[in-house]
Amino acid sequence: MGAAAGRDPFAEAAAEARRRLVAALDAEGALPDPAWRAAFAEVPRHLFVPSYYVGAFGGYERLSRDDPDPVRRLSWLDGAYEDRPLGTLLRGDDLVSSASQPSLMADMLHALDVRDGDTVLEIGAGSGYNAALLCHRVGDSRVTTVDLDTDITDAARAHLHEAGHHPAVVTGDGALGCPGRAPFDRIIATCAMPSVPAAWLDQCAPDAIVVTPLSTGVLRLRVPDARHAEGRFLHTSAYFVPVRGTTPAAPEPRTGGLPRRALDSDLFRFLLTLASGSLDPYEAYALWQREGRPGRERYGVTVADGRQWAWLDDPEGPYSWTLGGPSDGPIGA
């Protein structure tokens, strides 16, 4: 009787929801590293999304742990552990911060190839959940997370503290990194970038790794020194909240006159966005057809002596496109 009286049905429901999420990620093969599997199994995602928005009837519906309706409160808890992104901050009708899809987070964290003792900089604090996973892996003192807005960093810090983690949470311009905490062995971004900020490379330790969304993919760069970096995209698609502030966004590609079958292809739109401003869209379509409709993993990016270019198959090959110059403006998730 005493044991039953001490049960916490809400905590049990949260633990069961977390087990379901990890089982789903396992089934997808998204958690091959036991260290990251343990992080997803033990870090309570629901603490980082006390309320969130999901698409409903052309707009957004808000779910909250403070909802007086127990059915809606259970929907909030179950939704917090579904493998989907969750909007966490709206300004007007614009979504400006979100909690990323857990399977995509797992892909990016595995690509980061974190080792014991590494220091990690996260650009885009968001809800704080990704920072908590990093803290679980390398320890609180080795994690720094940066975001542009005080309301985002204040909320992330509160969520992290509730979950028992205390990394450095910094309000500032993510494009400038965090020089006071550099150098970093690993840098991971959670907002879509038009190019790779020079300050990130300046703050990398030798042979660091940078993982960042770019176009509609995820780029993994090896950084031997501050003037050079190179790497390829992961195979997966990735749609993140765009960089905000004064950092110029990549130009919108022209699509008029392109075949519908091209515009309906996620892989073609990836190339079109990646090469926007450098490659005529009709030339892009002809190239994509001629090269067998390549997947994201065939593309890469090179940074060398102040230049940045994307390429297909070979950084010195015939197909390459200049990316925008290193970003100098503020970044937020």
Instruction: Just list the catalytic residues.
Output: 100
Per DSSP, 187 falls in state E
The residues, ordered by sequence, that sit 6+ positions from 148 with a Cβ below 8 Å of its Cβ are 171, 172, 173, 174, 244, 245, 330, 331, 332
Cβ atoms of 88 and 127 closer than 8 Å: yes
Contact 227, 305 (CB under 8 A): yes
3-state secondary structure of 222: strand
Cα dist from 102 to 125, 134, 168, 235, whole Å: 15, 13, 23, 16
Phi (first) and psi of residue 61, to 5 degrees: -110, 135
Terminal CA-to-CA distance of the chain, rounded, Å? 48
